[in-house]
């Protein structure tokens, strides 16, 4: 999973760095690094996954009842 960025003509270092950071974020690299920074017990992983699943189910139910607006994931 190598991320490569080539500088475009006339592009500053700050712009290249910004594009690199965005690409790392999009690939989930920064989230993965933060997650691996500390050891997490298997039972804690399961609990976190359960909480995430429960939250997703509750949000879907709230959307179906008309409490929350429907979020659309797509190009803006």
Report field, pTM of the whole predicted structure over 0.85: no
- Unique residue bearing structure tokens 């992983």: 45
C-alpha 59/C-alpha 67 separation (Å) is 9
Residue 27 lies in a domain: yes
Residue 24 lies in a domain: yes
- At residue 58, the pLDDT reads 92
- Show the domain range for 45: 13-65
Residue 28 lies in a domain: yes
Number of domains in the chain: 1
Residue 8 lies in a domain: no
CB atoms within 10 A of CB 29: 14
Residue 75 lies in a domain: no
Mean pLDDT for each 10-residue chunk of the chain (76 residues)?
A: 85 94 91 90 95 94 80 62
């Amino acid at each position: 999973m190598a991320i490569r960025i080539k500088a475009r003509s006339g592009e500053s270092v700050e712009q290249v760095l910004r594009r690199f950071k965005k690409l790392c974020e999009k690939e989930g690299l920064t989230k993965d690094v933060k997650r691996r920074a500390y050891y997490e017990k298997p039972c804690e992983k399961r609990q976190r996954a359960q909480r995430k699943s429960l939250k997703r189910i509750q949000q879907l139910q709230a959307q179906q009842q008309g409490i929350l607006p429907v979020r659309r994931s797509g190009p803006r």
